[in-house]
Amino acid sequence: MRREYYGHATQVFGVEEHRLVGGKGDGMRLFLVRNGKGLEFTVSADRCADIARLSYDGINMGYFGPCGYVAPSYFDGEGFGFLKSFTVGFLTTCGLSNIGTPSVMDGEPQSLHGTISNTPAENVYFTEDEEGITIHALINDSHIFKTKFSLKRTIWCSKRENKIKITDVVTNEGSKPEPAMLLYHLNMGYPLLSEEAELSISSDKVTPRDERAKEGINVWNVMEKPQPNFVEQCYYHFFDKEYGTADIFNKEIGKGLRIKFPTDTFKTMVEWKMMGEKDYVLGLEPSTNLLDGVEEVRKTGELSYLHPSESKTFRVEIDFFDAPEK
């Protein structure tokens, strides 16, 4: 950047902290990040430092749910009550004690996708250098007599290219082994998502989650127009390689993105294909497990545990582009 051309740095790039006024999001803290290259996104400090909105060159990339911004105080953790405050956004973090279907483990109810996304960060701040901007957050997901997790998050945004890197370090702060599950609910929305969008996932195997998904197994990568009363379809993508990737590009707007993640920590990518009117969203979701809930996953022997003081690091990279790679 040529510093002699601007006054305050936020004329071109930087971070601004805002607070919402009114509605269910009243008082929520938001960090607006701009990298000066066309990437702009909002980090919701009171919702696990997730990414609520994201645009590239002024064009929206993610999906924003009908409920809009909802503060954690409105969270309903029973059954599917999660959906009442599911902002969706570009990123919703799911876990840490459950992902997918509501479950019961050792007599303890576990809500849809867990509670971490409705947990405010205890400490959020940003740092900046010549290379990029970093949002730092600490989320305390602990309960007396129950699980005690911490999630230390950094969201790094490059100033030199349109790239985001999310790194989470999950630590068991308790005194006994605990099951740990994590899913990055990354959500594509209009105008990136439309019937013109081209989806490519580098998976070696694709399986439908249920009978409904099986109906569309041959067109899992075909996006359709919004349809009334569409019933969601979910697919599991498995990878034999070191990294998994998912690309979506829309030739109508000339924009796209690539999600890249290591397959040693994320065993699958969940594709959530939801082509409904108003509920028009495509989830591309690196996940540690299938979506059957913690108890069913335990029965299969696929459940991973963190021992006392043990940490595990999770990463995902997202690149934004104007033309697909040939």
Average pLDDT per run of 10 along the chain, which is 326 residues long? Answer: 84 96 97 97 98 98 97 91 94 96 88 94 96 98 92 98 98 96 98 98 98 98 97 98 98 97 98 98 98 94 96 98 79
Q: Count of alpha carbons within 13 Å of 190, Cβ hemisphere only?
A: 13
Whether residue 44 contacts residue 155, with contact meaning beta carbons closer than 8 Å, is answered with: no
pLDDT in tens, 89-109: 999 999 999 999 999 888 888
Rounded Cα–Cα distance for residues 266 and 285 (Å): 10
Residue 286: its pLDDT value, please?
98
Write out the two tokens for 158.
């490059």
Q: State how far the alpha carbon of 83 is from the alpha carbons of 53, 67, 210, 309, in Å.
A: 18, 9, 20, 32
Residue 168: its pLDDT value, please?
98
Rounded Cα–Cα distance for residues 208 and 217 (Å): 7
Residue 75: its pLDDT value, please?
92
Write out the two tokens for 237.
């993508």
The CATH code of domain 3-321 reads: 2.70.98.10
User: Phi, psi (5° rounding) for residue 6?
Assistant: -130, 160
- DSSP letter (8 states) at residue 212: H
Q: Which parts of 197-290 are beta strand (E)? A: 197-201, 205-208, 233-238, 243-250, 255-262, 268-275, 280-287
pTM for the model: 0.96
Residue 78: its pLDDT value, please?
86
Nearest to 286 by CA among 95, 53, 34: 95
- Strand 233-238 and strand 268-275: the pairing is antiparallel
Residue 326: its pLDDT value, please?
60
SS3 state at 117: helix
